[in-house]
Amino acid sequence: MSSIGLTLSAILILAASGLPACLLPRRSAGGQRLAALAMTIGGILGTAAVALSFGPSSATSLKLGWLLPWGSFSVAVDPLSAFFLCLVFVIPALGSVYGLGYWKQMEHEPNGQRLGLSYGLLAASMAMVLISRDALLFLISWEVMALSAWFAATAENDKPEVRRAGWIYLIATHVGTLVLFAMFALWNAQTGSFALEPRGAMLTSGAAGAVFVLALVGFGFKAGFMPLHVWLPGAHANAPSHVSAVMSGVMLKMGIYGIIRMTGLLSAIAPWMGTALLAAGAVTGIAGISFAIGQRDLKRALAYSSIENIGIIGMALGLALTGRACGRADWALLGLAGALLHVWNHGLFKSLLFLNSGAIIHATGTRDVDLLGGLAEKMPFTALAFTLGAVAIAGLPPLNGFAGEWLVYQGFFMALDPSAPRGFEAMAVAAVALAAIGALAVACFVRLQGGVFQGSPRSAAGGHAHDPGLAMKLPMGLLGLACLAIGLFPAMAAPFLESVALAWVMPSGPEATFLPAAMPHIADLAPLAWVGWLGGGIALLAIILYTATRLSRRNGQVGEAGHGTWDCGYARPTARMEYTASSFGQSLVGLLSFILWPTRHGPKIKGSFPAAAKFRSELPDPILDRALRPLFRLGRIRSGGIRSLQQGQTQLYILYILGIAIVLLLSGGRGVSR
């Protein structure tokens, strides 16, 4: 079977995975098991198809006519699609297995079938987005993806905050899609077809710039670049955890894919495009991780950290675009390779962390970090997996986050190279921004790990906590192992990265910027094998240190009964006196208050014996809570007059239709010659 045929059949299996459950009784567990089985089979088939697409002789594209007057059913698997398809086929399948333990359909009778159906559709439509080579098919798949994600994320729609987050997501995604409509319309007007093929030469430089800006905004809504991220924290926090994992780990990357795909189709890249993406990425990264530090809600913190990672990917892409604009193949290669590797890495470790947060919520029933604590003793597996994910996301060796960011660092440092073209020295500043992001990420995840797993329990929530069952452990373990594998053997990914970069840097055609022979290799620019050795050494060191402390603790008498970890010398410390995650983040929130604008509600303490008082601090989202909500409230007040049209009576609505029909009849006759 050809590679494209196999891919399409895998997509069909994914799309239909939720159907059997709809035919079975709502309370039956069989439907969900069948769905997980179908997702797994589809995932394996799809991965095989992706592997096959790299083979020498296999059809990787297919073009059929269809009933619609425009476009065609045109699909293809090229290295770029294949790279992203790996995520799409792996993460949702793992998530559906996880869902068997975490979100049992039996326990969610009213909406279990709905989640199963939309979850499979989400995975299938993301794969369709990746293989579409026609703007119309792309938009259809994009919309199916957006809607099925909405249905999946609002699965627990009996809770008001879930519904609210769902609406914000729905509005944001449609605004983004609208921008994409404009972009593809412009593309069609300039190139004369909806086909997504490298025809960038037909675009004037102004049109190419417009396409780039529209792509950045339209796909930026999905990816979550900073002013466009409004839907992201709420939707990720309120979705079931395996859906959050798929949304954050995979769906955000569809926005990144869109930007890479469209810039790959444009042949003339102007330097300002790279600078714009670099700036957007830096702002997104720094602001995203700053907000993550201030969140009490575990999943909101993870969501803001997703925004940060999108920022890192954006910066790397900015480097790659700048490289293409000024003819530096090495910058383009390092930037794109770094971005792509980080796409994979973030897909793996963020899914791991979200699945972890699900295990924590499952065990304790709360997402509030300040109510948790001391879970490491009760949930050792979860603690270990979370620590793996945290180290990876903070960009520390020996895990995979380091490998990806290291490539990007190498690229930024090359801007300081004496042979670099004039005027790009400022790009080295981006390395500073990346370093700042990395440092803040370490602080953020030390805070989360410490708050959730260390110390002693801060409330009764963690009283009966225990590690989850096998169905949840298995996906978490696999993801953790994958993070470790890429961290220790990053050089294995280099051939993939190079083949994608080759196709992206050189849109085929006469105006190709670089010749294939001039394309450098990653191994020459940035020896990834060293990263592996370094990581292995550090891992070994960590194991030795751990064993040593374990042994010394067993021999010595550290850890007498009655002394908590953070008891500060008090004779009878209680959990309420414990340092909370919020206290840990306090100093950083204060330092970053020029970005965060935290609000505090509480009395000033006066005198020696103040009365009982309450204190509360909040960290509202700057765009959503400070700009958009007041704006919409104003709009609702201003447009109050129009609302009287909405009477709720079907009869009146039909009358409106009749009125319009009559007006059309009367005015339509005008201009007809007798």
Residues forming the site for other proteins (CB under 8 A): 646-652, 654-655, 657-658, 665, 669, 672, 674
- Please spell the DSSP secondary structure of 379-400, one letter per residue: -HHHHHHHHHHHHHHTT-TTSH
Other CB atoms within a 10 A radius of the CB of residue 31 amount to 23
Q: Which is nearer to other proteins, 616 or 674 (CB)?
A: 674
Q: How far is the CB of 650 from other proteins (least distance, A)?
A: 5
Cis peptide preceding 475, ω within 30 of 0: no
> Left (φ > 0), alpha (ψ -120 to 50) or beta: where does 661 sit?
alpha
Please state the closest distance from residue 248 (CB atom) to other proteins, in A. 32
Nearer to other proteins, 541 or 655 (CB): 655
Q: Which two tokens stand for residue 602?
A: 């509480």
Of the candidates 628, 631, 604, which has an alpha carbon nearest to the alpha carbon of residue 615?
Answer: 604
Is residue 146 within 8 Å of residue 139, measured between CB atoms?
A: no
Q: How far is the CB of 251 from other proteins (least distance, A)?
A: 30
Q: Are 370 and 456 in contact (CB under 8 A)?
A: no
- Least gap, CB of 645 to other proteins (angstroms): 12
Residue 637 vs 657, nearer CB to other proteins:
657
> Between helices 470-488 and 528-555, what is the axis angle to 10°?
120
Nearest approach, Cβ of residue 349 and other proteins (Å) = 42
Per the CB < 8 A criterion, the answer to whether 372 and 462 are in contact is yes
Nearer to other proteins, 521 or 633 (CB): 633
Q: Nearest approach, Cβ of 249 to other proteins (angstroms)?
A: 36
Within 10 A of 225 (CB to CB), how many other CB atoms are there?
27
Q: Which is nearer to other proteins, 69 or 556 (CB)?
A: 69
Residue 636 Cβ vs other proteins, minimum distance, rounded to whole Å = 12
Would strands 616-618 and 599-601 be described as parallel, antiparallel, or unpaired?
antiparallel
Q: Which has the closest alpha carbon to 467: 356, 365, 302?
A: 356
Between 555 and 649, whose beta carbon lies closer to other proteins? 649
Nearest in space to 483 (alpha carbons), one of 317, 380, 351? 351
Q: How far is the CB of 670 from other proteins (least distance, A)?
A: 11
Nearer to other proteins, 110 or 463 (CB): 110
- Smallest separation (angstroms) from other proteins to the CB of 666: 9
Report the amino acid identity of residue 610.
P
Residue with smaller CB distance to other proteins, 419 or 649: 649
Give Cβ neighbours of residue 575 (< 8 Å, ≥ 6 apart): 373, 456, 457, 458, 459
Considering the complex, state which of residue 562 and residue 648 has its C-beta at the smaller distance from other proteins.
Answer: 648
Alpha-carbon distance of 14 to 441, in angstroms, equals 35
